[in-house]
Amino acid sequence: MRRRLSAGVLGAAALALVTPLALSAPAYADHGRDPARKLVQDVKGRHVERHLKVLDLIAKVNGGTRVSSTHGYNLSRDYVATLLRAAGYKVTVQPFEFTFDGYRTKPVLERVSPSPKTYKNGFFNDYVAMGDSPAGSASGTLQAVDLVLPPTPAPSSTSGCEPADFAGFTRGNVALMQRGTCNFAIKAKNAQDAGASAVIVFNEGQPGRTDVDLNPTLSDPSITIPSFFTSFATGSELAATPGTTVKLNWDPIVEQRTTYNVIAESRGGRADNVVMMGAHLDSVQEGPGINDNGSGTAGVLEVALQMAKYRPVNKVRFGFWGAEEFGLLGSKHYVTSLSQEEKNNIGLYLNYDMIGSPNFVYQVYDGDGDAFGVPGPEGSAQLEKDYQAFYGSRGLPYKPSEFDGRSDYKAFIDAGIAGGGLFTGAEKKKTEEEAKLFGGTAGIPYDPCYHGECDTIKNINGTALDVNADAIATLAAKYTYDKAALDAIHKPGAPHTPPAAARMAAKVAHDDVPSAAS
């Protein structure tokens, strides 16, 4: 029987991992004339990795996940809060309600015969359940419906788009269809009307249509049979042998739950121009989330612990956000809960989401908008320059990353607060040019374990993690210990000017726009 870690056990582990200097707070050290250099020296990549090992352990003993509202997440919360309190920060654990949309038991897709095989769930694996698929189980013969194999050069498959495609379909079979010219709901509804017990749609096979989609959806409440989406490789493998039998199960759950943010701030420092930085603490349900976003969490946490040794000039605040994976909910709740005066007292916000991707690129948010045409609020351009200067000082390449609304900076920049941050890449594939510039492997994702069960401690690039932890420390020191530097970004207590509504109107939340079109 697997024993759960208690909060007390995690608290003891947390204290054991705090460096002796961090525990000596609040006896401030003299940061001298160059606090940035001293802080960067204090922040060690191996200490950041210690935090990741704890988060990985928490996930391992809690079903392989740290998703918000679960025991794994709550232990992650307690670990971070315990360390920060021990270091002398004022820590607030902020509860909020959210809609949990996940599953009770892990989804199942198996080939029963011939040659039994269990397929892997996840975006970079074999399949996912359609985003709004109803619950259900099915076992039976797989029946192909009007497939085009090999696929044509351009999308053209009409598989399952017409009721006539199901002529001769055996009721109770599982319908196997191919992505193509009509949306998933039409395919699933036609299959249901023909008596299918379940639906499997596989990607069509052209370039850009081979992998599992990030969030395929049905968007049709009249569909009552479970529906899965697979990669082209999985679908074509299933289609290769007529009479293949399969088993699948989908057991979703949607309910209101409580989760938490952890907010820590220095007890000293000027309060009318706060330096704020943050990272989301939660994982997806499918995996432990060690790169996404244990890496950002661990980097910010270690910088916070080391900063506790030095007396701040400007107050510094750290946010560890819950329910980011459900639509940036924790950071949105936090910003929404602030009065206008409290918002005006935040000078800037720095965001760290995925800073140790195994096939990394060093990316800096495009604060001035010159790369993507979407600038951040006033002051964001300077933050971009600061990160660029950091990488330049080490002779490292970097590239811009769009303010596309996919991480927790969104609530802050929507409120007009200057924003910046780093990102080492998620589901997109590294180009040949990037491989020449940054190393790594072209043609595979920056993080092949993104939102998957393999996002463990083994999924971290230690070099990227160490470099980016130093970048976090560099900017934290510049704006916490230099009054003039922060005042140049934002005048103390001055009202923020939210960006034009149209600037972010087309931007999406953390997960890509749901894909209902086939």
Sequence-distant (6+) residues with CB within 8 A of 253 are: 100, 101, 102, 103, 104
| Catalytic residue (choose from 324, 325, 434, 453) | 324
Q: Known catalytic residue: 324?
A: yes
* Coil/strand/helix, residue 56: helix
What residues does 202 pair with on adjacent strands?
A: 178, 230
The dihedral through the CA atoms of 78, 79, 82, 84 has a sign that is negative
Helices 45-60 & 296-307 angle (0-180, nearest 10):
130
335, 412 Cβ separation under 8 angstroms: yes
Please provide the DSSP assignment of 356-374 as one string. --TT---EEE-TT-TTTS-
Please provide residue 70's backbone torsions phi and psi, each rounded to the nearest 5 degrees. Answer: -100, 170
Going by C-alpha positions, the residue among 171, 204, 201 that lies closest to residue 186 is 201
For 251, half-sphere exposure in the C-beta direction (CA atoms, 13 angstrom radius) is: 6
Please provide residue 116's backbone torsions phi and psi, each rounded to the nearest 5 degrees. Answer: -50, 140
* Coil/strand/helix, residue 420: strand
Cis peptide before 20 (omega within 30 of 0): no
290, 52 Cβ separation under 8 angstroms: yes
Q: How many CB atoms lie within 10 A of CB 17?
A: 18
As annotated, the active-site residues are 324
